[in-house]
Structure 1
Amino acid sequence: MKMQYSSFEKGELFEKFVEDKLFKVTDYDLIHRTNSISQNETRYAEDTLKPDFKFRCKTTQQEFYVEAKFRSGFNAKDMIEVISYNQIERFKIIQKEENTPVYIAIGYGGVPDNPNYVSLIPLDELSYLELYDSYLRRFHIDKALVNSSQLNFSITPQESEERLKESINEQKARVEEDSVSRFKNKKFIVGFAIGLLLLSFFIFNVFKTPTEDTLKQKTTEYYSTIQSGNIDELENYINPYVNKWYSKSNVTFSEIKKQTQAYIKNHPESRVEIQWDTFKVTPLNDDYAVTYNMIYKLLKEDYGKDKIFHLKINAVWSNDLKLKSLYEEKI
């Protein structure tokens, strides 16, 4: 007979699984763990709003957060609700302010202390609040100790700049220590200059955020803002003056804001599923032309049934990452 657990018990059992099986004390130091439900009932701790764990890898000394989520199975839409909008936004702020990667560990199927499958998803890869099995499988890991090589820690632009400065300073120091005779060798001077230029170019290009990834993130945030109803935040994503907005031309942001408010009032529940394999970016003078296909759903529209549209989106983003044009084609 299968044991029945409350939602709180499921959460605590899976958290123990994550701590004891995936990030064992042999390889990871535990820096932080949020309070349990019973502890918060006595006195609520503010850091409960952080992800469940903060670990430090003993091999790399990299610190990172892990939020543990267990789900018994898929919902009626064959999806798993992974995280709430408020949580994902809060975790993004924490990741940015603390410069510390956040991962979501999702166990699903089976029992919470031994799920059938486990996925470990970097927060930056979490584009939707609900995920299909096909997406979860991309991040499957073994139900065993996580190797630090599986944690693809990114290096921030600030860190890359610091590393570049360190490398340049090291090069300068070596030059100063060399004898004057070396500098009489023109080949050495030319070689040193070229090497330093290549080093700067390499570090800059390795660690900078690719334009396509930046625009994917910006696109995701744009749709999340609309679906959350945060209309005032749209000014972070839309130019004050837009060339084309769906069927209209030469539209101001204030007009777009009013239209969006009216649209959400008439269609309060919607869902966007972008097909990221169709996402294409083309440089356009100082702007970026972006196209992608997506499935757009108006939930419970006709007699309680969803209305589904297959669309191709054509957008132009400015170099300061604001929409200058947006329209759709049915496919």
Structure 2
Amino acid sequence: MQYSSFEKGELFENFVVDKLFKASEYDLIHRTNSFNQNESRYAENTLKPDFKFRCKTTQQEFYVEAKFRSGFNSKEMIEAISYNQIERFKTFQKKEKIPIYIVIGYGGIPNNPESLSLIPLDDLSYLELYVSFLRRFKIDKGLVKSNLLNLPKKQHKEESKTSLEDDQIKEKVTGFNKGSLFNFKNKKVLLASGIGLLLMVFLFFNTFITSTEDTLKQKTTEYYNTIESGNINALENYIEPNVVKWYSKSNMSFADIKKDTKAYVKRHPATKVEIQWDTFNVNPLNNDYAVTYNMVYKLLKENRGKDIIYHLKIHAIWSEDLKIKSLYEERI
């Protein structure tokens, strides 16, 4: 059965309310107007996330935005959220100090999606998502347990004061015990602890590198998407204020890069980037990341109706803030 985009949205929203955040565990405080309701009179609260719930266990409130996607796009990514919406939600979350979660259903049908991911807004920095990222936040098709949301239980003032006093007493006792017991530790215990620590560092480092590579793939994709869309102002989200090397130029300011890019897009309004992800390589460089990858770059219908195609190797340095501080290419 074929559904319109609005029908898909409403079916998935009903699934979220009825299956994931059931009335037995969550109070529904707010729900934005439907498309039909807004047609007759637009409500300002439509700019908020779809739902506001209160957990009956913790009494904590939170927002949920529901997104259903039938499948992946040509880049094998899910188009999760718009730039304007994610920026609006971040401002809204900061102002209200209430956490926002994005629940994404993909594959299958809206009222019974094949897969689900529940992503805290603070972890969502990308507009399009790889399946590897979605899997990090995968949830089952059933009631979402409150502990999965990491919502602390609200306390009354007396409880909070008592809890604070207990914590201070525990801290003093623990500190005393640590000092007393340290003298009894033997070399074998210290050696075992050292080995355990090294293993933890090794595992953390490998996990960190994998996660960083996925993150840089996301940022690289978004960078090129921003240029292709002509949204040059948004490039400040991906480029440092001052760049050491920018293609054939050195020591460029973002203002100069923005000006050059605008002129380039005017000359070449239709381009296409095909990154060969199997060549994507990340190496730590002090506090930065050196990134290289091959790609096919096309200027669409530039030469009497024929595309001009370049095979390039890209060399980039991304800062610890995940912004480009150096970028140049070589033909291969």
Both proteins in one fold, TM over 0.5: yes
In the TM superposition, 1:1-331 aligns within 5 A as 3-151=1-149, 171=168, 226=227, 229-232=230-233, 234=235, 238=239, 241-265=242-266, 266-270=268-272, 278-283=281-286, 288-293=287-292, 298=297, 301=300, 311-315=313-317, 317=319, 324-328=325-329
Shift in Å, 1:90 = 2.3
Deviation at 1:143, TM superposition (A): 0.9
- Between 1:107-116 and 1:22-31, the stretch displaced more is 107-116
Amino acid in the other structure paired with 1:245: W
Change (3 A) 1:101 1:300: farther
State the distance in 2 between where 1:281 and 1:267 align.
Answer: 35
Structure 1: how far apart are the matches of 2:36 and 2:45? Answer: 15
Q: Secondary structure at the match of 2:2?
A: coil
Query: CA distance change for structure 1 residues 111 and 233 in 2, over 3 Å: closer, same or farther?
Result: closer
Whether contact under 8 Å (1:223, 1:272) holds in the other structure is no
C-alpha displacement of 1:251: 2.8
**In 2, are the aligned partners of 1:274 and 1:292 still within 8 Å (CA)?**
no
Deviation at 1:24, TM superposition (A): 0.9
Secondary structure of the residue aligned to 1:65 is strand
Q: Which consecutive unaligned segments of at least 5 residues does structure 2 have? A: 153-159, 180-207
- Consecutive unaligned residues in structure 1, runs of 5 or more: 155-162, 176-186, 192-209
Q: Please tell me the root mean square deviation across aligned C-alpha atoms, in Å.
A: 4.7
- SS in structure 2 opposite 1:48? helix
Contact 1:270 1:296 (8 Å CA) reproduced: no
Q: 1:312 to 1:168 in 2, by over 3 A?
A: farther
CA contact (8 A) 1:297 1:306 kept: no
Deviation at 1:89, TM superposition (A): 2.8
1:263 is matched by which residue type in structure 2?
Answer: Y
Deviation per residue, 1:188-221 (Å, 9 max, x gap): 6x96xxxxxxxxxxxxxxxxxx9x97xx599578
Q: Retained in 2: the 8 A contact 1:56–1:64?
A: yes
CA distance in 1, matches of 2:41, 2:59: 32
Measure the CA separation in 2 of the matches of 1:237 and 1:130: 15
CA distance in 1, matches of 2:150, 2:312: 34
Change (3 A) 1:116 1:301: same
The CA deviation at 1:263 is 2.6
Query: Is the Cα contact below 8 Å between 2:314 and 2:327 reproduced in 1?
Result: no
User: Percent identity at matched positions?
Assistant: 58
Provide the TM-score with structure 1 as the length reference. 0.65
**SS in structure 1 of the partner of residue 6 of structure 2:** helix
Letter aligned with residue 117 of structure 2: S
Q: CA deviation at 1:49?
A: 1.4
